[in-house]
Amino acid sequence: MKLILAQPRGFCAGVVRAIDIVERALAKHEAPVYVRHEIVHNRYVVENLKAKGARFVEELADVPAGATTIFSAHGVSRAVEADAASRRLNVLDATCPLVTKVHNQGQRYSDLGRTVILIGHAGHVEVEGTLGRISGPVHLVEDRDDVERLDLADDTPIAYVTQTTLSVDDTRATIEAIKGRFSDVIGPETRDICYATQNRQTAVRKLCQHVELLLVVGAANSSNSNRLREIGAECGIPSYLVADGRDIDSEWLAGKHTIGITAGASAPDVLVDDVIAALAKLEPIEIEALQGIEEKITFRLPPELLEVS
C-alpha cells in the first residue's frame, strides 16, 4: 500500500503560536492557567495541555478573579475583552494574527461608513468573536442565498470580510453574489486570505489526482479539517475524517492501493504518525511526500513570554 502525504499539512503558524503561549504561560505562572474555549480545535492538543495544568472554560465567569487567562486562537468579542478587564484577569491573547487582521479590516470598513458583510459559518467561535469586534452594521452570510435575503438596499455601500478557515475557493461564489447584487462593494485582496487554509486546500486537490482514498487527520469540530474532507469528496475520492489511527475502518481500504493523507491546521504530526502506524499494521506500506509549498511563516509571541522557554 502506497501512502502519499500532502504538503503542506498539519499545524499552521497561528496554531503553533497559540499552543506555545499556553505552554510558556504554564512555565511562567505555574498551573492552573485558564483558557477560554479550546485553544485550537483538536482534542489531543487540548488533553495534552490539560495534563500540564491548563483548564479550559467556555465562560469567563468560571475563571477566578485575577487568574492568568488565555484567549484562544479563534479570537474574542470586545464584550469578552471588557469582561476580562473588569475582573482584573491577567490576559494573554493567543488570537491568530490573521484573525486579528480580519477584525481590524472589518472595523476600518465600518469606520468608512460601510455596512460590513461577514462570510462565515453561524455559531463558529471565530465568527462570534469577529461579529463582536466590529462596531456598526454587520451581517453574517454563509452562501449566495443568504446574500439575496439581506434586507439592504442595492445601493448600500458594502464591504466584506471572511472567516479565516474559508479559502478563496470557498468564498468565491458568495463574493460574486455580493458584487452582483450591490453596486458599491469593496473587500480584502486575495493575498489577505489565510495562507494556511488556501495552501492546505490546494495541496488536497493536487493530492487527489494521485490517490484512490483520502484520510484527513483532524477533529470533528475543526472547520478547516472538515473542509479538506469535503474537497476530497468533491474531487470524486472516497474521503474520511479521522482523529487518529483508531478511527480507520479497514473496509475503506478494500481494493485501494494508493492512500492520500493530509491533516487540518490544528492537527499535530503525532496524529499523522499514528494514522500511518495503524495503516502499517494492516499491510506493508511505502511512503511518499507530495511536493508542495514549504511554509516558513512564524508569528511573534506576546512580549511578556519571549524570555520563557
Q: Which amino acids are annotated catalytic?
A: 126
Half-sphere exposure of 78 (CA within 13 A, CB side): 8
How would you list the strands of the sheet with 239-242, edge to edge?
239-242, 213-217, 258-263, 2-5, 286-289
Secondary structure of 105-165 in the HEC alphabet?
HHHHHHHCCCEEEEECCCCCHHHHHHHCCCCCCEEEECCHHHHHHCCCCCCCCEEEEECCC
C-alpha–C-alpha distance, residues 249 and 306, integer Å: 44
The amino acid sitting at 281 is K
| Backbone φ and ψ of 276, nearest 5° | -60, -45
Cell of 258: 494508493
Cell of 157: 455601500
CB within 8 Å of 283: residues ≥ 6 apart: 1
| Backbone φ and ψ of 117, nearest 5° | -110, 120
The percent of the chain in helix, strand and coil, each rounded to the nearest 5, is: 45, 20, 40
C-alpha–C-alpha distance, residues 178 and 172, integer Å: 10
C-alpha–C-alpha distance, residues 140 and 161, integer Å: 10
Half-sphere exposure of 89 (CA within 13 A, CB side): 25
